Amino acid sequence: MPVGYVADQVYQKHDTNDHVEGKDRLTAIDEILVKTGLKEQLELIQPRPATIDEIATIHDRSYLQELKKEIDSGGGWLDPDTYVSSGSWEAALYAAGGVMNAVDSVLTGKHSSAFALVRPPGHHAVRMHQMGFCLFNNVAIAARYALRNYDIKRVMIIDFDVHHGNGTQEAFYTDGHVLYCSTHEYPWFPFTGLADETGEGEGKGCILNIPMEASTGDADFLRAYNEVIMPAGRRYHPDLVMVSAGYDAHWKDSMSNINLTTTGYARITQIIQSIAADCCGGKTVYTLEGGYHRPALAFSVAATFEIMLGHDEIFDPFGQPPTITTPVDFDSYIAMLRQIHNLDK
């Protein structure tokens, strides 16, 4: 079964000028996919615009009205981090809709897995406002869409962006139909995602946060995925695995202090694909979040596609960071996380 990807020129309409989250991010990815020959191995999934009713399953309608009003008036800075232009509304509709089309493609069996190369990103957007470069929470909207439109009961969202997906956590904190797992630098923007934030009510135990210290590298991240996220995912047994794929934890990216490598992202992807293979026939949908060092972003996305295609070998032009710090007593930290989530029972 082929691997799909969502891409379209509509995402370039979100023109952020010289903002770090610029449209050249997608251009850089496309160039590497062509150069490596990966693009010809993938099948294009055309996006569509999300409807207001679909977006309103996650966001308040009053926020949507105010956002559209700001964009229609010419855009500009909505907050110190988030910039919009006259084309941002259309791009954001197609970003959410693109991820939903990826979900359709995977859940109807057309593609084994899919990666939505969309922007603006989404995992910081909360119910009442935009945040951290994000307008609509694309992955949350698509997860709820999957649960409402297909005969599935459980979705697992894995977020490896260096920033905690506070908007996604908010959306499903009391839900129970979504297991949200995040590895992220802490303390770091948006200063949420502590290990003891585990959900409430029906969602109790369905939020799994693994805050990581600055300078942490591949080895410790892979332990977190192998020893905490993988067993939690297998126990939850999702019908679909979704991924907020942010590449700003790469050691070359100045937006963080984490030391993941391109190879590290490939190994994380292998773990994610293994969870999906064990639980839901390999059904995975990735959506692009952060990643601001253009070459590191592009080669890391390419590495993700390599693993999705079933290839073991990947090209890492950057290698290892100059220094890697292992947190003090990381064994005890992993043991604490496993205890919080009852993984030893």
Is 163 catalytic? The answer is no
What number of H helices and E strands is found in the chain?
11, 10
Residue 230 and residue 183 in contact, taking contact as beta carbons nearer than 8 Å: no
So what's the pLDDT on residue 188?
96
pLDDT truncated to tens, each residue of the chain (345 aa)?
899 999 999 999 999 999 999 999 999 999 999 999 999 999 999 999 999 999 999 999 999 999 999 999 999 999 999 999 999 999 999 999 999 999 999 999 999 999 999 999 999 999 999 999 999 999 999 999 999 999 999 999 999 999 999 999 999 999 999 999 999 999 999 999 999 999 999 999 999 999 999 999 999 999 999 999 999 999 999 999 999 999 999 999 999 999 999 999 999 999 999 999 999 999 999 999 999 999 999 999 999 999 999 999 999 999 999 877 777 799 999 999 999 999 987
CA 340/CA 227 separation, integer angstroms: 13
DSSP-derived pairing of the beta strands 207-212 and 178-185: parallel
Residue 64 and residue 56 in contact, taking contact as beta carbons nearer than 8 Å: yes
Enter the pTM of the model: 0.97
**Of residues 14, 123, 124, 184, which has the active-site annotation?**
124
Residue 232 and residue 279 in contact, taking contact as beta carbons nearer than 8 Å: no
CA 263/CA 250 separation, integer angstroms: 10
So what's the pLDDT on residue 325?
75
- Coil, helix or strand for 183? strand
Return the CATH fold of 3-340.
Arginase; Chain A (3.40.800)
| Domain-wise residue ranges, the chain | 3-340
- Coil, helix or strand for 47? coil
Residue 251 and residue 285 in contact, taking contact as beta carbons nearer than 8 Å: no
Compute, in degrees rounded to 10, the torsion defined by CA atoms 32, 35, 40, 46: 30
